[in-house]
Chain A
Amino acid sequence: KQEVTQIPAALSVPEGENLVLNCSFTDSAIYNLQWFRQDPGKGLTSLLLIQSSQREQTSGRLNASLDKSSGRSTLYIAASQPGDSATYLCAVLKRSNYKLTFGKGTLLTVNP
């Protein structure tokens, strides 16, 4: 059974700091990995999708890497802003059943 773990569960940083969020998964037979953002009481917004054949994806101040063999992904946020405060979730799409498995998320607070 695929399990996805996100560390840390919560993170508080001052504005302007660069930070890294971690995601690990137990089964490396995946199609892709996605990072999502969730604001309180809202739905999820896709940030980055990394195919299993890719090593990283970038969008603006966000960079996501994928090391499939070790079952790890990181989301790097550069020059953090208060508007980045949200919960960040990662999810992996398993090859055998086309199902997305989500981590519990990291609650990020960026203090002005």
Chain B
Amino acid sequence: DGGITQSPKYLFRKEGQNVTLSCEQNLNHDAMYWYRQDPGQGLRLIYYSQIVNDFQKGDIAEGYSVSREKKESFPLTVTSAQKNPTAFYLCASSFQELSGNTIYFGEGSWLTVV
């Protein structure tokens, strides 16, 4: 089945560690996105990529990094510089022309700092 796969579902990070969240899609979408969701809050855009080897900062990019080496993959690294990383992270993808197409989401990854 076509879709977006995020892994791991649950991840624990120690202080000072970098962790990487995986996102893979087989929908042949050009654009991919990472959002952060805090309890009772709307989604906030971290990074997005409209094409391979190119990505743009979203509204809350500080403390995060991404890469887009393949069309299907858009991993997110939460670095030690992110001071409050505990949140629910959602990966999404769409055809490049978002104005006429809907956006699809993965099942999310929970990150907790211990």
- Residues of chain A at the chain B interface (Cβ within 8 Å): 4, 9, 31-32, 34, 36, 41-46, 49, 51, 89, 91, 93, 98-105
Contact = CB atoms under 8 A, between A and B. Distances in A.
B114 interface: no
Given A99-B45, A105-B42, A44 B90 contact: yes
Interface stretch (B64-72, B79-87, B97-105): B97-105
Contacts of A103: 42
Given A41-B108, A44-B90, A104 B42 contact: yes
A31 B99 contact: yes
Nearest to A31: B99
Interface residues of B, number: 23
Given A43-B108, A93-B98, A100 B103 contact: yes
Contacts of A104: 40-42
Interface of B: 4, 6, 40-45, 58, 88, 90, 92, 98-100, 102-108, 110
Contact of B104 (A9, A41, A46): A46
Contacts of A36: 105
B33 to A, nearest CB: 8
Q: Is the interface of A mostly helix, strand, loop or mixed?
A: strand
B89 to A, nearest CB: 10
Contacts of A43: 4, 6, 90, 105-108
Contacts of A49: 102
Given A42-B108, A43-B90, A99-B45, A93 B99 contact: yes
Given A31-B98, A45-B105, 11 more contacts: A43-B6, A44-B43, A44-B92, A44-B105, A46-B102, A91-B43, A93-B98, A100-B45, A102-B44, A104-B40, A104-B42
B5 to A, nearest CB: 11
